[in-house]
Structure 1
Amino acid sequence: MKKNMGIADRAARIVVAVVLAILYFTGTVSGTLGIVLLVVAAVFLLTSIFSFCPLYLPLGLKTTGKK
């Protein structure tokens, strides 16, 4: 896996993941929607950790900057 996510993209995903997790664990969002948002938060967190987004490959996106 070659990195295809930049620092700003990773930071934004981490912030969104934390907000979604807080919404779920405080009971603001519950039920099926809460579980779906929790899964999205987990995916965002994992893609941020590995700096790799599989969806970017077919779309040809890369936010790492130019070397």
Structure 2
Amino acid sequence: MKANVGTVDRVIRLVAGAALIAFGYMGGLASPWNAVAIGAGSVFVLTVLIKFCPLYPLLGINTCGNKG
């Protein structure tokens, strides 16, 4: 599994993921959409940590700059 998420992409994902998680928790778990927001935010943060997005190879995207 090669890295395919670059630095700028990681920063954007981290900010978006943290915002989704925060909005999900601020609304409580009364609505299923809050759980969806927390889940999506968690996926964004996970892709930041592992530097790999499973959708990118399917779409032919690589923001990391390495040739793979």
TM over 0.5: yes
Q: List gaps (5 residues or longer) in structure 2.
A: none
| Corresponding position of 1:65 | 65
Q: Secondary structure at the match of 2:27?
A: coil
Q: What's the TM-score once normalised by structure 1's chain length? A: 0.88
| Corresponding position of 2:36 | 36
| Corresponding position of 2:48 | 48
Instruction: Give the CA deviation at 1:54.
Output: 0.3
Partner Cα distance (1:62, 1:3) in 2? 8
Instruction: Give the CA deviation at 1:27.
Output: 1.9
Q: Deviations over 1:16-66 (max 9, x none)?
A: 011111112222785111111110001001011010000001111000125
Q: For the Cα contact (< 8 Å) 1:23–1:29, is it kept in 2? A: no
Q: How many residues align?
A: 67
Q: What's the TM-score once normalised by structure 2's chain length? A: 0.87
Q: List gaps (5 residues or longer) in structure 1.
A: none
